[in-house]
Amino acid sequence: MPRDASTDKPLVELVNITKIYPPDIVALEDVSLRIYKGEILFLTGMSGAGKTTLIKLLFCLETPTRGLIEIAGRDLFRLSPVGIQQMRQKIGVAYQDFRLLDKQTVFQNIAMAMEVTYASAKEIRVRVGELLDLLNLASKRNKPVGELSRGEQQRVALARAAANRPTLLLADEPTGNLDQTTTELVINLFRRLNEEDGSTIVVATHDESIYAKTEHRVVELHNGQLAAHLEQTPRQVELF
């Protein structure tokens, strides 16, 4: 359900973020945004609007040219290497380009995320099995990721992002290669994470079908700038 923005403490706060790629490509310009704990946020915009850039900033893969990002009250760019490492364990990211290891199996790829947190072999088996069932990938468990279709790889990337029940899940174009039925599986996964584990979820997408009828907040990037406050008018028709 939509949150009351004025009372909740934001989990993520972006203040006047500008990102300029060398030499002078302005990917984000003066973006200020609050993301509240437990909400689902759709980040929309045309191709090249800066969605991926914003997600990379949240994950410390890029540094902003100007501005401040706080996660849980901590300045992201003052974190020590150990701080970044610990933060990354709590943030699950499904990359637009997946970043999977083609030679390793579906299971191994997903398990990797849990191994770095030193989860036990049993925990990993159970959790990965659960996710594979949810995303209809159980039959591909022991296949090398390189032999899967794009849509299957996309779901593996999502499963890896969700494996640790992250505090914050960043999904970049999670349904780009999926049909309607499979898209619903993905949305179902988001809903479960949000409801059962209290995960905050940010979905970057230009797939209008998944946010058109949502009650959740939708913000739109336009040429690197945050467009007029769409989130003020939550839509009431439920897809979620």
Ligand X SMILES: Nc1ncnc2c1ncn2[C@@H]1O[C@H](COP(=O)(O)OP(=O)(O)OP(=O)(O)O)[C@@H](O)[C@H]1O
Is residue 175 close enough to count as binding Mg ion by CB under 5 A? no
Q: In the complex, what is the shortest distance from the CB of residue 108 to another protein, in angstroms, rounded to a whole number?
A: 10
Quick one: residue 48, left, alpha or beta (phi over 0 = left, psi -120 to 50 = alpha)?
left
Task: Say if CB 153 and CB 100 are below 8 A apart.
Answer: yes
What lies within 8 Å, CB to CB, of 212 at 6+ separation is 235, 239
**Residue 195 binding result from ligand X, Mg ion, another protein, none, given CB thresholds of 5 to 8 Å by partner type:** none
From another protein, ligand X, Mg ion, none, interface partner of 23 (C-beta below 5 to 8 A by class)? none
Smallest separation, CB 142 to another protein (Å): 17
- Binding letters toward Mg ion, positions 90-119, x by CB under 5 A: ------x-----------------------
Query: Which amino acid type is present at position 83?
Result: G
Residue whose token pair is 């909740």: 8
In whole angstroms, give the CA distance from residue 160 to residue 58. 18
Per-residue CA distances from 15 to 28, 49, 75, 133, 172 (Å): 12, 18, 11, 39, 21
Per CB under 8 A, residues contacting another protein are 59, 61, 81-82, 84-91, 93, 99-101, 112-113, 115-120, 160
Positions in the binding site for ligand X (CB under 6 A): 21, 25, 27, 45, 47-53, 96, 206
Going across the sheet that includes 168-172, the strands are 91-94, 168-172, 200-205, 40-45, 217-222, 225-226
Question: In this complex, which beta carbon is closest to ligand X, that of residue 25 or of residue 101?
Answer: 25
Candidate residues 52, 167, 183, 194; the one interacting with Mg ion per rule CB under 5 A: 52
The partner in contact with residue 21, picked from ligand X, another protein, Mg ion, none with C-beta cut-offs of 5 to 8 angstroms by kind, is ligand X
Structure tokens at 87: 């933060």
**Residue ranges that bind Mg ion, judged by CB under 5 A:** 51-52, 96
